[in-house]
Amino acid sequence: MGSHDPAQLVGERLVAVEPTSLRVRYPRTVGRNARLGSHGSGFPTTAVTLRTSSGHSGWGLVEGRIHDLQQWVGRSVTELFHPDVGVLEKTAAPLDFALHDLVARIFEVPVHELLGGQGTRSVPCYSGAIYFDDLDPEDAPRGISAVLENCASDWAAGFRAFKLKIGRGFRWMDHDAGFARDIEVTRAVREAYPAARILVDANNGYTPAETVDYLRAVQDCALYWIEEPFHEESSGLGMVRDHLRESGSDVLIADGEFEPDEQHVLELARRGLVDVLLMDVCSFGPTAWRRLMPTLAEIGVLASPHAWGQPLKTAYAAQLAAGLGNIATVEGVPGSTDGVTGEAFVLRDGAVAVPDASGFGLRLTASRGVA
């Protein structure tokens, strides 16, 4: 038995499962990446609140379509959740965050404590919002100064690390001009922010050979990691690894975000071809991260649950970092969520402080109902 006795949950039965519409807002319009067009300035999202027979409640984000929430009404919490494991039934995965929040609140502990408290409560956090804004607006592109303005705004918000999107030549620019711009942007940000941690993400828009050429061209920029250079496959990653080794570089290879095949990326990690695994904090989920993290720690591979899209996902990733440990840094999504008070997660000097409040430490203030 773990330190949180499941017997304390006996008798807790779900009496209500309520969806709530929320809205994510970014502080600016977020542009294109290698594969996708503008990411806009916000979008609607959904949370679900669970209420139990003894008057406890917990809530969490649900991504994607939610089906038949009422099927959970009447189920006992112990059938669906174990404090040492997480969600017990695959079909209850959409309730993963809400159940973790609920159970942590019943135990009156923060989620990071429920998860084992193996990390620190001050979690390095990078801005994941530096897209191809140099290319917009299409009729009068703002150029590299737009990227530098975004870095300035995120630096002012407390970030000390930036993830730059690269891969402009995959879809949006002439191949060579796009590749040259990727290098120019990387250099410009490094020059303007000598103390910043810089990560880059090609969203699978490079080939293995281009990846090596890019890394060679920015060798003096001290990158922290290169993410998703191309869809993960062993021969290409082997080529990148050989280059890094031969050049004495300590740039990390981060992968496993896009449609991950867990066994495949784990095998690549075991073979030393991936240093940081990125499965999404929501679609992979806290229960899966709890299951996988001890293996990663054992084989010496780091994690950084992908959080792009929603500021709440950054908060969730930071809770996992504080709870499970072995998380190198978390992806920061600048902005806010209407209907949620999340300011307990203060970002200062490049690190997000994980609160000690019960559950995830987030308060849902929106009235229930789906628009």
Binding site for ligand GLR (CB under 6 A): 33, 36, 128, 201, 203, 257, 306, 308-309, 331
Reference 208, options 171, 174, 162, 242; nearest CA is: 242
Nearer to ligand GLR, 96 or 257 (CB): 257
The helix/strand/coil state of 76 is strand
Strand ranges for 231-283 from DSSP E: 252-255, 276-277
| CB of residue 228 to ligand GLR, shortest distance in Å | 7
Nearer to ligand GLR, 119 or 128 (CB): 128
Extract the tokens encoding 179: 């590749």
Nearer to ligand GLR, 133 or 201 (CB): 201
Nearer to ligand GLR, 22 or 102 (CB): 22
Query: Bridge partners of 123?
Result: 352
Four-residue CA torsion sign, 46, 50, 56, 59: negative
| CB of residue 128 to ligand GLR, shortest distance in Å | 4
| CB of residue 135 to ligand GLR, shortest distance in Å | 14
Extract the tokens encoding 130: 């530096």
Q: In whole angstroms, what is the distance from residue 292 CA to residue 245 CA?
A: 27
| CB of residue 34 to ligand GLR, shortest distance in Å | 8
DSSP state of 291: H
Nearer to ligand GLR, 72 or 214 (CB): 214
Q: In whole angstroms, what is the distance from residue 297 CA to residue 244 CA?
A: 22
| CB of residue 309 to ligand GLR, shortest distance in Å | 6
Contact 10, 52 (CB under 8 A): no
Which residue is at the shortest CB distance from ligand GLR? 308
